[in-house]
Structure 1
């Protein structure tokens, strides 16, 4: 009985820990953006969309959504990504994306900025933004 309860608890926790992450842009953004481009944007290696518009990426501030995004899309843990950005900032080669508090803050920012890109829990998507990828 204890094993069954433990197995059930682990299953429930793992399903919530691995929620889908939706990458979102402003609905007016017509650029085609693939997974490689998203990764480059969040590593500071791409500074603009295909049409030449400067990209304005935003992160979430250290929550499970940001951990999932970093793992699935960027391919780094949060601590690895912090070390990566610390080095770029120290050498003057880059500035990390602004961190916002939660999904709603990201939705509001992306909805009001044509050049913005962000990520949220896929279950929180609204019609104020356009989903370009889900991981």
Structure 2
């Protein structure tokens, strides 16, 4: 019984370390050579603190709609901010004339379509979404 418990615990921990956060997957265009990013690197991409990939391709982050559960999860677990804090961040950036927030898409399917069409795109979707035509990244802790 103890061995079974240890095996199940190990498998669950390995699964959690290998993907994004529970309930979501971070995806990029299949042509993107990146296979993993840290939470901090992801936050820098989505907050537009980094504007290009290592090969010089422009980073094109895409968000889910603000009121969706997957966006709330992404903000909390990856950006380490509440939705209100993310909104305030972008209001300050806009007011200062520095930048605008990433475009929003209304569904996982719309995010996946955007990522498929744009080489520099990065987005996030529900974990159960089909990954056809995109590449799911490993999020390093």
- The normalised TM-score by structure 2 is 0.78
Deviation at 1:32, TM superposition (A): 4.9
User: 1:27 is matched with which residue?
Assistant: 30
What's the CA shift string for 1:12-65, capped at 9, x where partnerless? xxxxxx842100001011135512211101111011111111100000012000
C-alpha contact (below 8 Å) 2:35/2:138 kept by paired residues: no
Quote the Cα distance in structure 1 between the aligned partners of 2:73 and 2:94: 24
* Matched position secondary structure for 1:34: strand
Number of residue pairs the alignment of both structures matches: 118
Quote the Cα distance in structure 2 between the aligned partners of 1:97 and 1:49: 16
Deviation at 1:134, TM superposition (A): 5.2
User: 1:44 is matched with which residue?
Assistant: 48
Asked if 1:109 is matched to 2:109, the reply is no
* Matched position secondary structure for 1:117: strand
- The normalised TM-score by structure 1 is 0.81
* Matched position secondary structure for 1:22: strand
Deviation at 1:86, TM superposition (A): 0.3
User: 2:70 is matched with which residue?
Assistant: 65
Quote the Cα distance in structure 1 between the aligned partners of 2:22 and 2:69: 9
Quote the Cα distance in structure 2 between the aligned partners of 1:50 and 1:110: 18
Quote the Cα distance in structure 2 between the aligned partners of 1:122 and 1:102: 13
Residue ranges of structure 2 left out of the alignment (5+ in a row): 1-20
C-alpha contact (below 8 Å) 1:31/1:51 kept by paired residues: no
